[in-house]
Structure 1
Amino acid sequence: MMRVGTVLALLVSLAGGAVTSQAPELAQQYRQRLNGALEELAKVVARFEEDAARHTLRLDEALAVYGDAEEPFLRDRGLSMRRVIERFERLEQQSVRLAELPPPLRPLAVFVNPDGDVLKGAMQDFEPAVPLTAHGMIWTASGLLAGFGLYKGLAFPFRRRRRAARVPGR
């Protein structure tokens, strides 16, 4: 018959494995949303660059025109466009980094430095997947080990008390 501690260790380990097995799928769904956002931002930035070029302005010059405008609306619009361009550049860099990483490391890159809007959307629409890939199994195994280690760490103080209570003569 299995002891309660063994059953708890198994359950916590399985829960850890189940949770971490989804990391590659979350990274994949994040990456898909990231690339979708990049495509849309690229269109906005390209249109802005085309408009600037039609007036013989470079991108930085067009932004400066907005910044120098007397009308507050135009200055605000210039700031908005500057933020769009900066976000586009950040997402582009992140997309390149994710593409260069081996699949088992992609979840770490997502967790370390995600784009808040992209991650929020990925989490809202997240659908778990069965980990049938090698990197899915790596994450499952790491979660199983982490869950088992967590259980052992939490159970350790209680095991010492139980052993002390069993010692004869006390």
Structure 2
Amino acid sequence: MGIKKAIFLTVAGLFAIALSQFPEFQQQYKQRLGGTLDELNRQVAALDIRASDAGMERYDYIRHFLDNSDMVIQSEGQNLSNMLGRRVSVQKAIDEMDNARAHELLFTMLLRLDTATAQATLENYRPAIPVTVSGFVHALFGFVVGYLLIGYVSLLVPRRRVQSSWSGQDN
């Protein structure tokens, strides 16, 4: 096997290994999002109880905060509103990942990526051996991307003819 082919296969193999880990990363990321959603649901349930105790519906309760002239109370209303928006966003991200096919999952996740959750997932990530169809699909995709990338890079590198010092022939 020539050195060029070995380099191509090595780079492609490394990309395959890296992308084969995506399903495991996605699973750990989704578990963290699920925990976030569970906590947001608990907070919204507590908000609903507070609103009910005040004789109001959830959105009327929040509007009461937002319409207040006291900036501290307005800020609390904005925080409550942001919490509801985050809950919707996290739920939508989970739903879309649940409904994505193996070949769509990477792009689906990237479209709704929660960077703070992804960073926390990456910091605590534990690799796994991919034994699923999704792992195989991502490994194959990684191999193809790596192979094409190294091919593209090799086209950009100027070719030089190297004179062998011992044979006097070109390699």
TM-score (norm 2): 0.86
Normalized per residue, the structure richer in helix is 1
Per-residue CA deviations over 1:3-41 (Å, capped at 9, x if unaligned) read 211111111111111111111111111111111000000
Q: Which residue of 2 aligns with 1:3?
A: 2
CA contact (8 A) 1:26 1:107 kept: no
Query: How far off its partner does 1:99 sit?
Result: 1.4
Distance 2:156 2:32 in 1: 45
Q: Is 2:102–2:137's contact at 8 Å kept on the other side of the alignment?
A: no
Q: Which ranges in structure 1 are unaligned for 5 or more consecutive residues?
A: 163-170
Instruction: Output the CA distance in 2 between the equivalents of 1:15 and 1:29.
Output: 22
Q: Which residue of 2 aligns with 1:130?
A: 129
For 1:167, the equivalent position in structure 2 comes to none
1:79 equivalent in structure 2: 78
Pairing 1:104-119 to 2, within 5 Å after superposition? 104-119=103-118
Distance in 2 between residues matched to 1:24 and 1:94, nearest whole Å: 15
Which residue number in structure 2 is paired with residue 46 of structure 1?
45
Give distance in 1, aligned partners of 2:46 and 2:60.
Answer: 15
Question: Over aligned residues, Cα RMSD in angstroms?
Answer: 1.7
Larger RCO (CA under 8 A, 6+ residues apart)? 1
Aligned residue number for residue 98 of structure 1: 97
Offset, 1:104: 4.1
C-alpha deviation, 1:161, in angstroms: 6.0
The one-letter amino acid of 1:111's match is L
Distance across 1 between alignment mates of 2:103 and 2:26:
10
Q: For 1:67-110, what per-residue CA distance to the aligned partner results, in whole angstroms no more than 9, with x for missing partners? A: 12232221111111111111011111111111122344322211
Taking the aligned partners of 1:72 and 1:146, their CA distance within structure 2 comes to 52
Aligned to 2:138: 139
In the alignment, the residues of structure 2 paired with residue 21 and residue 13 of structure 1 have an alpha-carbon distance, to the nearest angstrom, of 12
The residue number in structure 2 matching 1:62 is 61
Identity of aligned residues (%): 22
TM normalised by structure 1 equals 0.87
* Structure 2 gap ranges (5+): 162-171
For residues 88 and 119 of structure 2, the distance between their equivalents in structure 1, rounded to whole angstroms, comes to: 19
Aligned to 1:23: 22
Q: Give the aligned residue type for 1:146.
A: V
The residue matched to 1:56 in structure 2 has which SS? coil
Structure 2: which amino acid aligns with 1:26?
F
Secondary structure of the corresponding residue to residue 104 of structure 2: helix
